[in-house]
């Protein structure tokens, strides 16, 4: 289950996610004064963090005692990531349509 190929994929996933969180954090700081524009970046960061949890769980079956529980954690992390990322996209769409009076 934990072949070098899977470990490589998990490593690339963690590396890309870390870079994404770095840029998301920088963008979020740029909108710190505007609550309505800061929130989508925070939620997007939570989604990417959930992807990191899912990627880190790939090489763990070697040390895990209950593989079924680990698989459930991976599935929940991916579902939460999808929820957070889609929610962030909806909030960003709402933020982009703010009129001057708002």
pLDDT at 11: 83
Q: How many domains does the chain have?
A: 1
Within a domain: 82: yes
Mean pLDDT of the chain: 78
Within a domain: 26: yes
Tokens of 31: 């909108």
Within a domain: 81: yes
Count of Cβ atoms closer than 10 Å to residue 34 Cβ: 11
Report d(CA 15, CA 32) in Å as an integer. 26
Within a domain: 102: no
The pTM (predicted TM-score) of the whole model is 0.71
Within a domain: 101: no
Within a domain: 41: yes
Q: What band does 2 get if pLDDT is binned at 50, 70 and 90?
A: low
| Residue 22 belongs to domain spanning | 4-96
Report d(CA 94, CA 72) in Å as an integer. 33
């Amino acid at each position: 289950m934990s072949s070098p190929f899977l470990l490589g994929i998990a490593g690339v996933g963690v590396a890309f996610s870390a870079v994404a969180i770095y840029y998301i954090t920088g963008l979020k700081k740029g909108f710190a004064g505007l609550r309505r524009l800061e929130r989508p970046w925070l939620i997007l960061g939570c989604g990417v963090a959930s992807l990191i949890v899912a990627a880190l769980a790939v090489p763990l079956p070697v040390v895990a005692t209950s593989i079924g529980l680990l698989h459930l954690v991976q599935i929940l992390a991916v579902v939460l990531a999808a929820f957070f990322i889609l929610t962030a996209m909806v909030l960003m769409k709402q933020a982009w349509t703010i009129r001057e009076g708002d």
